[in-house]
Every structure is written in structure tokens, then in C-alpha cells.
A and B are shown apart, each in its own frame.
Chain A
Amino acid sequence: GAGVSQSPSNKVTEKGKDVELRCDPISGHTALYWYRQSLGQGLEFLIYFQGNSAPDKSGLPSDRFSAERTGGSVSTLTIQRTQQEDSAVYLCASSGSGRAWNTGELFFGEGSRLTVL
């Protein structure tokens, strides 16, 4: 499809396991964001990629969290040694360059719901 695609849509894991969440942005979009949303809460910024620039990792909550973006397209968010407080919906968003980026319009995927038991 033409939208932001995330997988898996749901992930249940045991405490201490590693998980990988994938995001496939809209084709041609240079900016990619990861946010986390806990139940009933707002969006917590995690990390931002823009083109070939160094990513803004200022929102990653601990060194258990990392993300990469290969070839300026697909991104993977990895959470090592998961904890129960990591349970949330992880949202990926992308936006275009130039005027589209300046509008602040982020196009969100449907999210990956992570449950850590």
C-alpha cells in the first residue's frame, strides 16, 4: 500500500527477551520518526532520522533501545532485555522533504502493540 507499514501489529513477549519492530515508510519520505504511546498517554518521542544525517536519539529511554534505518528507507527499532514498562504501542511516522516536511504533517503507521509479560 501507499501508507506507512509497521510489523508486527501485535507482539507478546516474555520479560528479558529481545524484540524487533519494523517500519516501512512512505516511498520517497526522507524523515522517519519513532514514538511510543502508553495506554491513555500522549506520544513519547524516541528517535528521528532525516536523510543521511545522524539520527536524533535524544528520546531513547535507555541503552536497551536502539534503532537503525537501512538505505534511507526501512527502519528497525530493537528493544533488548524487555521489561514490563516497555509495554506500549510503538508508532512509526514518516514525512516528506521540502514543503511537505515544513507542514509538520507526519503520516503514521497503525503501530506495533508490544506486551511484555
Chain B
Amino acid sequence: QKEVEQNSGPLSVPEGAIASLNCTYSDRGSQSFFWYRQYSGKSPELIMSIYSNGDKEDGRFTAQLNKASQYVSLLIRDSQPSDSATYLCAVRGFGNEKLTFGTGTRLTIIP
């Protein structure tokens, strides 16, 4: 079982709709969870972090964490063509300083 799993996609969403990206992780002791966005040919950049169960909102982005289910998700409201990218889920374990990344979900927003 991979440490961090994501559906590779591609996920196609119409412009203006909600894009939902999901991630599961295997280490129950994981403490910190992150979503990175990677445009084609570019390096990843951090867009959201979440540490506690529940929702965290930042503009059009909402991260959701459920530690009991070992599940973290990212919702993008009012999707824009500029949101088309690969979204990488990353997890940091307790006392473990490295970030483990999933394989990413490729999102395409259709105008």
C-alpha cells in the first residue's frame, strides 16, 4: 500500500463548477497535510495546509481532513481554466520531518 494515494485522473470539470480532489494516507500517526499545485513543466507550489479535523477555507479553496478515515480532500469552487494543473497531496508524520507526496491528480477545467 502506498503511503499517500490519489486518483491520478485526469479529472475534467466545467468552468464554474466545484472540483473535488481526494487523498488517503496510510500512516495513522500523520499530523500535517498539504496540497500543492503543479503546472505543467513547473515546480510544485503550496496552496493549502490543514492540521485539524474539519474544514479549512482560503478563498475558493477548501481543505477537508478526517483523521479517523485517514482522508483529506481539496475542493475548488467556481473552477477557472487557470486551475488546470496537477494537484499533489503531501503528508508529514509525527516526528517525521519529510513530506511524502502522492502521485497527484491531473485536473482540467473545461471552458
Contact = CB atoms under 8 A, between A and B. Distances in A.
B98 A48 contact: yes
Interface in B17-44: 32, 34, 42-44
Interface residues of A, number: 23
A33 interface: yes
B36 to A, nearest CB: 8
Interface string B78-101: 000000000010101000011111
Give the dominant DSSP class at B's interface: strand
Contact of B98 (A41, A42, A45, A103): A45
A111 B40 CA distance: 13
Interface residues of B, number: 20
B99 A50 contact: no
B70 interface: no
B101 A45 contact: yes
A104 B100 contact: no
Given A91-B43, A110-B43, A104 B99 contact: yes
Interface of A: 31, 33, 35, 41-45, 48, 50, 56, 58-59, 91, 102-106, 108-111
21 contacts: A33-B98, A33-B99, A35-B101, A41-B104, A42-B6, A43-B101, A45-B99, A45-B100, A45-B101, A56-B98, A91-B43, A91-B44, A104-B34, A104-B92, A105-B49, A106-B44, A106-B46, A106-B99, A108-B45, A109-B43, A111-B43
